[in-house]
Structure 1
Amino acid sequence: MTTTLVTGGTGTLGRPVTDKLRADGREVRVLSRHSEPYAADLRRGGPALDAALAGVDTVVHCASSPNGGDEKAAAQLIAAARRAGVAHLVYISIVGVHRVPLQYYRAKLAVERRIEESGLGWTVLRATQFHDLMVTFLSRLTAPPLALLPAALSDQPVEVSEVAARLAELALASPAGRVPDLGGPEIRSVPSLARAYLNATGRHRRLLEVPLFGRTYDAFRTGGHLTPEQAVGKGTFEEYLARRFG
């Protein structure tokens, strides 16, 4: 039986990827900093990472942090994967990393390039933001009685289980390079998403759109993080809210 290693396998995306692969009969190892028996810090590498990769043919790289360190972690993972003879490295990235000059997006793009140049067989999937991240974003914005929302902004949230299923499918296939993006089913204005969130949580807030400035905001405002031609997701934001708060 072939073996797959899922980095960040206890996280929001890594956990359903692991569950899906196991449901498909795959032997899966979960790598995270605190998950035995394959606990390792990707940024440090070392014997623990080599042990986790021994005998692995496919890696699904879900581990990521907006606080930094993704490039260093990718470099360690790629080097260890080469030593272990890994045949296929699957990476989850974000729609718009080449258009939005946010530091986290730049790091994700840099990781993509490292993987492309790694000499390994590789697949990269870019997805739009998950529903739960949108809830986190909106919970902060709507905490005060007057909720200040970034003006003229839209988003395309996607169901994390759908991204997980696609990653598992890609992991079971041959390396495919950059595959088509995976976007949520609807492009929605931020006020529309905020109203849906407030309705689901039974709260009332006054919403006020405020224009922002800068290259990053301009990239978001002009839809650099959206993929309307790949709105292939099925689960809507309201359906997610109903499950979480219903």
Structure 2
Amino acid sequence: MKILVTGGTGVLGSSFAALAKENGYEVVLASRNRPSLSPAEWTYLNLETGEGLSTALSGVEVVFHAATSPAKNTEKVDVMGTSLLLEECIKNGVKHFIYPSIVGIDDIPMKYYRAKRSAEAMIMESGTPYSIMRVTQFHNLVDKLISILAKFPICIVPTNLKFQTCDVDEVSETFIQIVKNGPLGRVEDFGGPEILSLKEMYMSWKEQSKVNRVLIPLPYFPGKTFKAFQEGKNTNPLCEKGLHTWEHWIQKKQ
């Protein structure tokens, strides 16, 4: 079986591609820039323009659509790019379109999350056999956030934000099982094994990283988006859960 992985140089795309290769699948990574190290064949693809789509989808049975642009060009990549990709998938008779989405996009008023909702709707309405799984934030995302905050002698942390972070490799394992099962439509959400406040995560990170910073807690931060994260709208305590905790992940990272 041949799998095309869009966003193949990203955190999830590269993890999934490596695991798919280990499971014996033929994998093609698609991105604008060739990766310096790659576990699989690479092909050029620009989702903003559609350039490279026909070549990328040649002989492909499964598409794992991990390409995304959270900070810029979100509309072009996550919405218009997904539309172009779906059109080409229909032309090429792709048998399974797999889309990793995000837990909480119905309740958190972010432009990026609205784009993810639009992409989900297009996939469901396209007629292409699909599987969509929403996932909570990855451990490395919060690690990156805390690392930025801890660059300064005084670390100001919006302490009440809640996260249910998960291990990206465990997410990839779940998506590999979805490949094996075939199109399932909207599947159960996937999240980490615990829900923690950002303060709790910071304290664990600080202990493991041996970083000595003065913590200034911000128990309240204005805005609807921050309120949604404070209320845990980005979590799902009833979802399927991975095993690797935040503590386990930061210990392994050291």
TM-score scaled by length of structure 1: 0.95
Q: Which deviates more, 126-135 or 207-216?
A: 207-216
CA apart distance, 1:37: 4.4
For 1:16-35, list aligned pairs within 5 A: 16-35=15-34
Matched, 1:58 2:67: no
Where do 5+ consecutive residues of structure 2 fail to align?
35-40
Where do 5+ consecutive residues of structure 1 fail to align?
none
User: Could you tell me which amino acid in structure 2 is paired with residue 73 of structure 1?
Assistant: G
User: Could you tell me which amino acid in structure 2 is paired with residue 62 of structure 1?
Assistant: A
Which position in structure 2 is the counterpart of 1:42? 47
Aligned with residue 221 of structure 1, among 230, 233, 237 = 230
CA apart distance, 1:191: 0.7
Could you tell me how far apart the structure 1 residues matched to 2:233 and 2:102 are? 11
Which position in structure 2 is the counterpart of 1:234? 243
Could you tell me how far apart the structure 2 residues matched to 1:208 and 1:40 are? 44
CA apart distance, 1:143: 2.0
Structure 1 residue ranges, 4+ long, deviating more than 3 angstroms after superposition: none
Matched, 1:196 2:165: no
Q: 1:191, 1:207 within 8 Å by CA — same for their partners in 2?
A: no
TM-score scaled by length of structure 2: 0.92
Could you tell me how far apart the structure 2 residues matched to 1:127 and 1:185 are? 12
Q: For 2:202, what is the secondary structure of its paired residue?
A: helix
Aligned with residue 134 of structure 2, among 120, 123, 126 = 126
Q: CA deviation digits over 1:18-61, x for unaligned, max 9?
A: 11111111111111112374111112113x21111011111011
Could you tell me how far apart the structure 2 residues matched to 1:37 and 1:134 are? 29
User: Could you tell me which amino acid in structure 1 is paired with residue 25 of structure 2?
Assistant: R
Aligned with residue 164 of structure 2, among 143, 150, 156 = 156
User: Could you tell me which amino acid in structure 1 is paired with residue 150 of structure 2?
Assistant: T
Q: Which deviates more, 10-19 or 129-138?
A: 10-19
Q: CA deviation digits over 1:158-182, x for unaligned, max 9?
A: 0000001111111222211110010
Number of residue pairs aligned between Structure 1 and Structure 2: 243
CA apart distance, 1:244: 1.4
Report the RMSD for the aligned CA atoms in angstroms: 1.3
Identity of aligned residues (%): 35
Q: 1:151, 1:212 within 8 Å by CA — same for their partners in 2?
A: no
Aligned with residue 108 of structure 1, among 88, 99, 116 = 116
